C-alpha cells in the first residue's frame, strides 16, 4: 500500500497563504463597501454582477453563488422589487425561469465594477507578462489550465 507524503509546510508557503488571505479579505471588504454604497448586500451585488453578463436560471445562480436555490429566490425577489432584476421564461424551456438584469441593474453592476480599485490598481503596477504569469499560476492552483501565449491580459 502506497503512503502519501504530506507536503512540508515551509515558511515561504505560510507567507504565500497569508498573503493570499490578505488579498481576499481586502477585496471582500472593498466589494462589501461598494455594494453598500448602492444599498445592496454583498450577495445582491454578486448576483447582479453575474446577471449583468448574461441571464441565468435560478439553479445556475445558486451554483455560481454556492448557496441554496431558496436563498437565490429571496435575493432575486429583493432585487426585482427595486427594478434591478426581472424574471422571464427561458425561450428554450418555458418551465424554467431566467433571472435577467434590467438596464438599471446593468448600470449599477457597471458602477460596482468601476468602484473596485483595490484589485485593479495593484494589478496595473504589473507588466502584461507579470499579469499573465499571475493569471496562469492562479488557474493552475485552482486546477485549471494556463492560458496560451496569445491570450492577452
Name the percent of the chain lying above pLDDT 70.
87
Q: What is the per-residue DSSP string for 95-135?
A: EEEEEEE-HHHHHHHHHHHHH-HHHHHHHHTS-HHHHHHHH
What is d(CA 113, CA 148) in angstroms, rounded to the nearest whole number?
26
Res 150: pLDDT:
41
Res 152: pLDDT:
42
The per-residue pLDDT for range 134-144, each reduced to its tens digit, is: 999 989 988 87
Question: Can you tell me whether residue 66 is helix, strand or coil?
Answer: coil
Question: Can you tell me whether residue 11 is helix, strand or coil?
Answer: helix
Burial degree of 96 (CB within 10 A; 0-12, 13-18, 19+)? middle
Dihedral sign, Cα of residue 55, residue 71, residue 43, residue 76: positive
Block residue for cell numbers 435560478 = 58
How is residue 41 written as a grid cell?
Answer: 448586500
Name the percent of the chain lying above pLDDT 90.
61
Res 147: pLDDT:
55
- Name the strands in the sheet holding 56-57, side by side, starting at the edge strand that comes first in the sequence: 56-57, 93-101, 85-90
Please give the model's pTM, rounded to 2 decimal places: 0.73
For the residues 106-126, what does the mean pLDDT come to?
Answer: 84
Q: pLDDT category, 151, cuts 50, 70, 90? A: very low
Mean of pLDDT over the chain:
87
Res 9: pLDDT:
80
Strongest mean pLDDT among 19-23, 118-122, 129-133: 129-133
Amino acid at each position: 500500500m502506497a503512503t502519501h507524503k504530506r507536503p512540508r509546510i515551509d515558511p515561504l508557503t505560510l507567507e504565500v497563504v497569508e498573503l493570499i488571505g490578505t488579498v481576499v479579505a481586502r477585496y471582500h471588504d472593498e466589494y462589501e463597501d461598494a455594494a453598500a454604497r448602492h444599498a445592496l448586500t454583498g450577495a445582491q451585488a454578486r448576483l447582479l454582477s453575474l446577471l449583468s453578463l448574461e441571464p441565468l436560471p435560478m439553479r445556475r445562480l445558486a451554483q455560481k453563488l454556492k448557496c441554496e436555490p431558496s436563498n437565490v429566490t429571496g435575493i432575486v425577489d429583493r432585487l426585482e422589487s427595486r427594478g434591478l432584476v426581472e424574471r422571464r421564461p427561458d425561450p428554450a424551456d418555458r418551465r424554467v425561469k431566467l433571472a435577467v438584469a434590467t438596464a438599471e441593474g446593468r448600470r449599477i453592476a457597471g458602477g460596482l465594477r468601476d468602484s473596485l480599485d483595490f484589485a485593479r490598481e495593484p494589478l496595473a503596477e504589473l507588466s502584461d507578462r507579470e499579469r499573465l504569469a499571475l493569471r496562469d499560476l492562479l488557474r493552475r492552483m485552482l486546477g485549471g489550465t494556463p492560458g496560451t501565449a496569445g491570450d492577452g491580459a
